[in-house]
Amino acid sequence: MIRWIRQQLGFDPPHQSDTRTVYIANKFPQHGHYIPQRFADNRIISSKYTIWNFIPKNLFEQFRRIANFYFLIIFLVQVSPDTPTSPITSGLPLFFVITVTAIKQGYEDWLRHKADNEVNGAPVFVVRSGSLVQTRSKNIRVGDIVRVAKDETFPADLVLLSSDRAEGTCHITTASLDGETNLKTHYAVPETAVSQSVSRLESLQAVVECQQPEADLYRYHSQSDHRNPPHTLYHAGVAVYTGMESKMALNYKCKSQKRSAVEKSMNTFLIIYLGILLFEAILSTILKYAWQAENKWDEPFYNQKTDQERNSSQILKFISDFLAFLVLYNFIIPISLYVTVELQKFLGSFFIGWDLDLYHEESDQKAQVNTSDLNEELGQVEYVFTDKTGTLTENEMQFRECSINGIKYQEINGKLVPEGMTEDSPDGSEELFLKAVSLCHTVQISYDQTDGPGDPFSHANGFSPQMEYYASSPDEKALVERYLMTFCLSLGEKVLFTKGAESAVLPYTTSGEIDKTRVHVDEFALKGLRTLVVACRHFSADEYQEVDRRLHEARTALQQREERLVEVFNFIEKDLELLGATGVEDKLQDKVQETIESLRLAGIKVWVLTGDKHETAVSVSLSCGHFHRTMNILELVQQKSDRECAEQLRRLARRYNTLAHPFYTKTVRTFSNQKREWTEQSHGLVVDGASLSLALREHEKLFMEVCKNCSAVLCCRMAPLQKAKVVRLLKTSPEKPITLAIGDGANDVSMIQEAHVGIMGKEGRQAVRNSDYAIARFKFLAKLLLVHGHFYYIRIATLVQYFFYKNVCFITPQFLYQFFCLFSQQTLYDSVYLTLYNICFTSLPILVYSLFEQLVHPHVLQSKPALYRDISKNSLLSFKTFLYWTFLGFCHAFVFFFGSYILMGEDTTLMGNGQVSVSPASLPSSLLFSYSRSCVSVAGLLLC
């Protein structure tokens, strides 16, 4: 505990050097002046509070809200003497709001603690004292040797020592880090790969010298010193980073707090009402002193001042009276607004998960709400940014065509048939291409265990019916499933096979049918196929030895490892012989085209952000309806310099302005929902990643001008960070549009965090964990926005406006009453009314309304997407609408007050104590209780 406190205060930093030395099995040197390094324990902490800091930390966060802090100040003022109302009137509602919010946030944090305890208490096996010991995950220390079995999760960051395979390999997924579920192969160093028993691992004398923890998932530098190279089942690794120093913890980022437009409007309205409150308090104070200018009102016979009151400071008296009026009118600010809004959002979020129309039966996935704070934003979306692969498409690849040695082949009945032929299969001239596809991949084969006797070698050549393929890319899996069983490979020479995008491979090819293959690649892309180019290079024995030596030196370097590896790869991957190209189909998801069309009719612009090549991306955009055939396509691609990019942007802007001129504007006939509509010709923009970087560097405004004039934008060859940059660009534009991003992979996480919505996919769960909402299919987006978003926004907008309206109705009679009691700070309402008005009397009806109200049937909202436009731009919480509700509140308040006054003004009333009272204008205090009860009854009847 002391060490932890010192670390938190900065007196005991855990790292003292740029590198750390890890002694395997914690066998520290027994001689010399060795000082052990201090490392973090293996506990994972994602919770926000502890038992000790929950109360102060939660109170601090709650009182950062304007309304809560305001009522705290009012409560403190009421504690002082000579205030017109009891402190209970503000203290009890404030305590209720703070308590309810604290319970909600405490429950959510308890769930985080529960999840942390499940991780920290998970059983693991470590090698200690010559035996395999079971312990808890949180007890792992840096240097411990950890055993991990098949399908188990790594409890810490491990360096592989050995596995149950003779070659010391293991196949892992990194879904918990980057969302990738495909297998990756890792190798143990030869010196430790032979240690496949607990005893030999225990006797291992070795040291790992590595860098200090950093967040980069793909960078790790280390060297090992094996002093006593000495067989484990499963995989064994030594822990080098633990707990909050592991890669996963360092990459865990608390998402920035996303505030909805409704919440921003609420804060603005609160400030305006605070101004109204200050105005009423100042005006009442001034009028009080103006009225008391006459002696008969300043010191009447029935209320003589004391000498202390006569001699007190006029400034202090003015401040005291001002504070008293402030307390008297303070309920114009609705204290229970925040807690009612939070309750409405929390309860309302269940409707998304309960909606069977958003349930995907095949994957047994229902819609998921990770945060309820942004429900109403679903009804305000103006831009949708979507990934292509796995989001618009199924991410299930099927081989369709290939190009080998300049000849195009198609798959017909399981055979490769040259173009224009129907029977002959490929001859021996294509063998090298097939060898390349069969070898150049990361596919792993898993064999299911079958009961009963059988030939143990039946699957040796890949013919077992129980085989299952695992690959780092669905493209590779589709190709290998097609080709892997074709040949029993035996190469008697050193050959380098390489495979990748044509932009990455073709520039390094010097032989082969380059021009023909390039044409075939473009044809594949126009058909919407994903393309890969295959090439090779032959090495002599001497060249291979040189390559092997240089690779080993670069891979074992602790400094500038990436730069040295790039240098070696550039040396290797040159003078390539082009073998051919492949075309793989990724099918569209169901109802993608209908969904995009509905979004367009709702006034939502759709941007597709993908890493695919230009031709493939355009073809898929056309097939899914993102681009339509009558659309004028503008292109910003293959720009080489800032000057060239700027000139192209100016040409696009001029072209758009020319096409938008009435003389050039054409109307085209489109069909939507089986109804004929006439629309002006729209424009689509295609941008590639390189050109986008140039455009955003110095020509951002010009680029945004072109984009905003286009109804659809397609960005291809995009890097993950570029996706987030594009979303941020739109969010920070002067119009401040509401954006929504959808993606299924870890490469979409940064984009999703910039916007609001994530969609479940097949590339892991990282995108879902980082999203605010998750749906299993793109087609569900239409109902999520057009129905749920529409309902959420209307309901909460009405709730917010009603809260301000009813408080104006409630407190304005208190202000008017002061004109009838000589501004003596008499209260019109009993303390019970002041305390329970917002909490009980008027909260439940509007809460029920805000949960269940449906102004339009859901089927109508889906069949007429244009209704979504009616609530865009935060129209129901605009300043004009706010003024209307406020004006309506003041008008009704006058009706409440003067209506009650006229009904009771001339009547005499027999009080419970036998006294007879007259109108409130003559004797204000006598009719106070009955008159206030009348006002509240009238107000409550009309408001509820």
Q: In this structure, what token pair is assigned to residue 168?
A: 């010391």
SS3 annotation, 530-557: EEEEEEEEEECHHHHHHHHHHHHHHHCC
Distance set, CA 589 to CA 383, 394, 395, 529 (Å)? 21, 5, 9, 15
What's 360's DSSP letter?
Answer: B
Q: Which of 174, 182, 178 is nearest to 158 (CA)?
A: 174
φ/ψ of residue 675, rounded to 5: -125, 140
Residue 531 makes CB contacts below 8 A (sequence gap 6+) with 501, 502, 521, 524, 525, 581, 582, 583, 584, 613, 616
Q: Is 58 annotated as a binding residue?
A: no
Q: Is 561 annotated as a binding residue?
A: no
- Give the N- to C-terminal CA distance of the chain in Å, as an integer: 56
Q: Which of 434, 475, 519, 707 is nearest to 612 (CA)?
A: 475
What amino acid occupies position 798? Answer: T
Residue 199 makes CB contacts below 8 A (sequence gap 6+) with 130
How far is the C-alpha of 932 from the C-alpha of 827, rounded, in Å?
9
Ramachandran category for residue 113: left, alpha or beta (phi over 0 → left; psi -120 to 50 → alpha): alpha
Q: Is 387 annotated as a binding residue?
A: yes
> What element of type H or E holds 171?
strand 169-174
Q: Is 424 annotated as a binding residue?
A: no
DSSP string, 591-656: THHHHHHHHHHTT-EEEEE-SS-HHHHHHHHHHHTSS-TTSEEEEE-S--SHHHHHHHHHHHHHHH
Q: Residue 677, CB half-sphere, CA atoms under 13 Å: how many? A: 11
Residue in the structure block whose two tokens are 């044509």: 502
Q: Is 580 annotated as a binding residue?
A: no
What's 210's DSSP letter?
Answer: E
Q: Is 321 annotated as a binding residue?
A: no
In the annotation, is 387 catalytic? yes
> What element of type H or E holds 896?
helix 879-904
How far is the C-alpha of 789 from the C-alpha of 868, rounded, in Å?
9
How far is the C-alpha of 285 from the C-alpha of 306, rounded, in Å?
21
Q: Is 717 annotated as a binding residue?
A: yes
How many of the other CB atoms lie within 10 Å of CB of 354? 11
Q: In this structure, what token pair is assigned to residue 573?
A: 């991957």
Distance set, CA 182 to CA 261, 474, 527, 588, 921 (Å)? 39, 9, 27, 21, 82
Alpha-carbon torsion angle 568, 574, 579, 584, nearest 10: 60
Find the angle CA(742)-CA(793)-CA(595) to the nearest 5 degrees.
Answer: 40
Active-site position among 157, 178, 373, 387: 387
How far is the C-alpha of 561 from the C-alpha of 554, rounded, in Å?
6
Asked if residues 233 and 164 have their Cβ atoms less than 8 Å apart, the reply is yes
Q: Is 610 annotated as a binding residue?
A: yes
How far is the C-alpha of 908 from the C-alpha of 693, rounded, in Å?
82
**Residue 182 Cα to chain centre, angstroms:** 23
How far is the C-alpha of 781 from the C-alpha of 775, rounded, in Å?
8
Q: Is 499 annotated as a binding residue?
A: yes
Asked if residues 531 and 561 have their Cβ atoms less than 8 Å apart, the reply is no
How far is the C-alpha of 526 from the C-alpha of 274, rounded, in Å?
61
Residue in the structure block whose two tokens are 């209970």: 88
How far is the C-alpha of 462 from the C-alpha of 449, rounded, in Å?
15
Q: Is 388 annotated as a binding residue?
A: yes
Could you tell me which residues are annotated as the binding site? 387-389, 476, 499, 530, 610-612, 717, 723, 744, 747-748
Annotated binding site for Mg(2+): 387, 389, 744, 748
Q: List residues with catalytic annotation.
A: 387
